[in-house]
Structure 1
Amino acid sequence: MKNVFCIGELLIDFVAEKQGNDLAKANNFTKKAGGAPANVASAISKLGGKSYFIGCVGKDPFGTFLINTLTKGQVDVSLAQRSDTFTTLAFVSLAEDGERDFVFSRGADKELTYDRRLSKLFKDQIVHFGAATSFLGGSLEDAYLRYLQEATTNNSFISFDPNFRADLWKGTENIFVQKCIPFIEKSHLCKFSLEEAQLLSGKQNIEEACSFLHQLGTKIITVTLGGEGTYLSTPSIQKIIPSIKVSPVDTTGAGDAFIGCLLKQLALATNLDTLLSNSGPLENMVQLANKAGAITTTNYGAIEPLPTQQQLDQL
């Protein structure tokens, strides 16, 4: 089984306890471990895979809480870094009109520095780039790009999830698109939401969007469609893989559970060319990943509801 290295942010999500109000009216918040790459690493480990988290948190109690959370979930944090800068925080609520109210206080995640030791560790393994904050500057952005080069030259299987956050890119979406292109060009697998696929391609039609993104270089595209399932696109497959029916209570982390489950299965695969030429195994992988994402929505939070392999096997 290949190791999966997940690079990016690990942060505190302060979630307003009383939903339906904007943050100005929220009084009580629940502390949750967050950050898409950390969620993906946790999903992989919970399913019995081997994941590493590469990111930076502060030398403060919140940073310690986050590292302890990943360690408890059997994610390898030996490559994580600690900074004197305070741990990154996010405050989230759902307003009455259904729009998310979001305040982001960026801190230690931007302090991640390049570690030359990773070059040898990446060889023939899986490297997942899934940081929402990776293109916002700081040494993280430089390290992110250098790790892409290292993964490319070391025959890594490269996975990319842009994790677009509209709140962070208002008025500068074109900059976000340009920064994503090198990763789409080099990745074997890209996971997009429908909004991301449309933004990055400039196409509204999902088939046209995927065709454009394939032309940039990526071979496998998954576009998550919520309860409808996932649109899978490769040189030989273009179809929706349906999901299972659940009663969702919190969709936080569903996409991370999906890509984590898919990467765990890919860590067991031996030949990418076989997956691309024979649609069956890859379709089955996506179908199982859909189940992982669906299960995660049936409880609150991003890490706690992640399914075990036993839960998936029982479905």
Structure 2
Amino acid sequence: MKGKVCVFGSFNLDITAILERFPMPGESLVAKSSKISAGGKGANQATAALKAGANVHYIGKIGEDDFGYFARRHLKEVGFNAVTILSSPERATGNALIYVAGDNAENMISVDPGTNMIVTEEEIKKCEPAIKCADVVLVQLENNLSAINQVIDIARKNKAFTILNPAPFQAIDDELLTKVDLLTPNETETYLLTGQKITDKASVERAADSLHQKGAKQIIITLGAQGSLLSDSLSKTWIPCFPANPIDTTGAGDAFNGALAAQIANGKNIKQAALFGSAFAAVSVEYIGAACMTTYEQAVERMNMLNDIQ
């Protein structure tokens, strides 16, 4: 049977422009191409978890506007096992403006979180049955902290495995780190959480130790093309980056986190899940847009490619 993943998180409508380079202040550039697509860390990670083999219940909040109409249509088409859509006329549906440029497909993003930041206590209470039945509960920081804490508290009470992807970064108390089973920051978020600059493997390991001292039990620090570090109180394991031909790196972290959650829900240990997540993310950067296009079969094939190289 497929494991159950509940993802509480943001929905954004993404407008992406592909450029030769990033514009300078005050400069207008002609884009090579552009695309309107579904995004938001919550929706992206939920989609990745679904494609990576889990039963997924997605919970998110949108506005009562044209972007919200787009969101409802998209979320229905994805094929989630269940969706809880909260809505409000008070703010616009979350949206993001994305530039992707250069040979490495690096990105710059501006986000208006909109309704993602006004999830109420009463709304989360209505979602409690969905959270209670999950094997894994995955959250990010693109919602108001009061709602995130409430979701995690419900998950812990019902013995779900909890994952916090601390992105996009906002200041959080160490208490929140102690609540979750697994923390998954990238290089920048690790620096913002610890003050430790990442310069080499030794500095990554020191930063992981700092996060453990703050109360984090298990950590995966993702480092893009340098792979990732899995750390707990007993050991540290380096997870490789898999071969890829990047076109757009925007959704790589979301692909990794969603696939990671799916594999843990399906009974894999964290190292096995992280390896699969790394392969899944490698495929994801070969598509334009943050919404996950990777399939389970593609991730397995990518894992086999690394085995062949070794």
Superposition TM-score, scaled by structure 2 size: 0.83
Contact 1:203 1:209 (C-alpha < 8 Å) held by counterparts? yes
The corresponding residue for 2:273 is 285
Quick one: which amino acid aligns to residue 185 of structure 2?
F
- CA shift in 2, pair 1:283/1:77, >3 Å: closer
Does structure 1 residue 145 correspond to structure 2 residue 149? yes
The corresponding residue for 2:7 is 6
The corresponding residue for 2:131 is 122
The structural deviation recorded for 1:248 is: 1.0
Which shows bigger deviation, 80-89 or 42-51? Answer: 80-89
- CA shift in 2, pair 1:304/1:263, >3 Å: closer
Secondary structure of 2:289's partner?
A: coil
The structural deviation recorded for 1:101 is: 4.9
The corresponding residue for 2:193 is 200
Superposed counterparts of 1:111-190, under 5 Å: 111-113=118-120, 114-123=123-132, 125=134, 126-131=136-141, 133-134=142-143, 140-164=144-168, 176-177=170-171, 179-190=172-183
Which shows bigger deviation, 153-162 or 81-90? Answer: 81-90
Which shows bigger deviation, 49-58 or 17-26? Answer: 17-26
> 1 CA distance for matches of 2:20 and 2:240?
30
Which shows bigger deviation, 154-163 or 87-96? Answer: 87-96
The structural deviation recorded for 1:20 is: 2.2
The corresponding residue for 2:282 is 294
The corresponding residue for 1:209 is 207
Q: Could you list the per-position Cα deviations for residues 177-216 of structure 1 after superposition, in whole angstroms to 9, with x for gaps in the alignment?
A: 3x25332111101101122112212233211211121233
Does structure 1 residue 89 correspond to structure 2 residue 105? no
The corresponding residue for 2:28 is 25
Secondary structure of 1:310's partner?
A: helix
The corresponding residue for 1:278 is none
Quick one: which amino acid aligns to residue 119 of structure 2?
L
Which shows bigger deviation, 207-216 or 34-43? Answer: 207-216
**Counterpart selection for 2:80 from 70, 75, 79:** 75
The structural deviation recorded for 1:83 is: 1.8
Root-mean-square deviation (CA, aligned residues, Å) is 2.5
The structural deviation recorded for 1:150 is: 1.8
> 2 CA distance for matches of 1:224 and 1:78?
28
The corresponding residue for 1:240 is 238
Which shows bigger deviation, 103-112 or 203-212? Answer: 103-112
> 2 CA distance for matches of 1:107 and 1:73?
22
Secondary structure of 1:55's partner?
A: strand
> 2 CA distance for matches of 1:7 and 1:202?
28
The structural deviation recorded for 1:27 is: 6.5
> 1 CA distance for matches of 2:61 and 2:30?
29
Secondary structure of 1:235's partner?
A: coil
Contact 1:124 1:155 (C-alpha < 8 Å) held by counterparts? no
Which shows bigger deviation, 246-255 or 122-131? Answer: 122-131
Query: Whose RCO is larger (CA < 8 A, sep 6+)?
Result: 2
The corresponding residue for 2:48 is 43
Q: Could you list the per-position Cα deviations for residues 232-267 of structure 1 after superposition, in whole angstroms to 9, with x for gaps in the alignment?
A: 112333121112121211111111111111110110
Aligned length, in residue pairs: 286
Which shows bigger deviation, 187-196 or 201-210? Answer: 201-210
> 1 CA distance for matches of 2:107 and 2:272?
33
Identity in percent: 27
The structural deviation recorded for 1:102 is: 4.1
- CA shift in 2, pair 1:110/1:308, >3 Å: same
The structural deviation recorded for 1:285 is: 2.1
**Counterpart selection for 2:60 from 46, 55, 59:** 55
Secondary structure of 2:37's partner?
A: strand
Which shows bigger deviation, 260-269 or 15-24? Answer: 15-24
The corresponding residue for 2:307 is none
Contact 2:241 2:278 (C-alpha < 8 Å) held by counterparts? yes
